[in-house]
Amino acid sequence: MPSRREQLLDAAIGVLGNQGSRALTHRAVDAAASMPYGSTANYYKTRDALISAVVERFAERDRIGWETITTFVRPANTAELAAGLIGYVQRALGPERAVTVARYGLFLEATLRPELRDPLAESARELRKWAATWLREIGSADPEGDCEAVFDYLDGVILHQLAFDGQVGGDWQAAVERTVLRLVA
C-alpha cells in the first residue's frame, strides 16, 4: 500500500501527464488523490517543492520498475532486445502514456530549473547501466555507447509518437527493430 506521500506524488504525476504542467497545482493534486483540500500543501509548501518531489518519485518508480524488469527479461540476442524495446515503447505510448507525458514534462521543466537536472540525470544513468549490462551480455563491442544511442533513439521515437500520434514517421516498430539491430550489431 503506497504511503500518503506516494499517493500524492503519483496523483501529481497523473495531473502532469493528463493535463500538463500548467494544471499541476496543490488543489489539482488533492482532487486527483481524492484527499482533502490542503493535503498536498501540508507536504510540499510550494509548487517548486512539489515538482522536486515528483522528480524523486519518478526516480524511485523507475528504479523499482527496472529492478522488476531485469529479474524477468534477459535478451539473448539483438532480435530479442529489439522486441523487448518495442514492448517498452508500446507500454510507454499505451498504458503508461500519462506517466510518459509527465516524464517529458519534467525534462522540459529541467531546462528552466537546473536543480532538477542532477536527479533526472542520475536516474537515467542508473537505468542505462542496467540496459548496458544486457548489451554486454548479447555481445556489444561498446555496450555503454550502444546503450546511449539506443536510449536516445527511443526517446525520440516516443516523443514523436506522443506528439504526432503516428502521423509522421511511418512504421515505428520496424524502424526500431532495424535501428537496434544496426546500432548493436
| Residue spans per domain, the chain | 54-184
Q: What is the pLDDT of residue 10?
A: 97
Rg, the chain, Cα only: 18
Q: Is 184 exposed, middle or buried (0-12, 13-18, 19+ CB in 10 A)?
A: buried
pTM over 0.75: yes
Cell of 53: 518531489
Q: Which fold has domain 54-184?
A: Tetracycline Repressor; domain 2 (1.10.357)
Separation between Cα atoms, residue 8 and residue 179, nearest integer Å:
39
Residue 165 has a pLDDT of 81
Residues contacting residue 42 through CB under 8 Å, at least 6 positions apart: none
- pLDDT number for residue 69: 78
Parts of the chain with a pLDDT under 70: 168-169, 185
pLDDT at 68: 81
Strand intervals (E) in the chain: none
Q: What does the pLDDT read at residue 167?
A: 72
Q: Is 85 exposed, middle or buried (0-12, 13-18, 19+ CB in 10 A)?
A: buried
CB atoms within 10 A of CB 170: 8
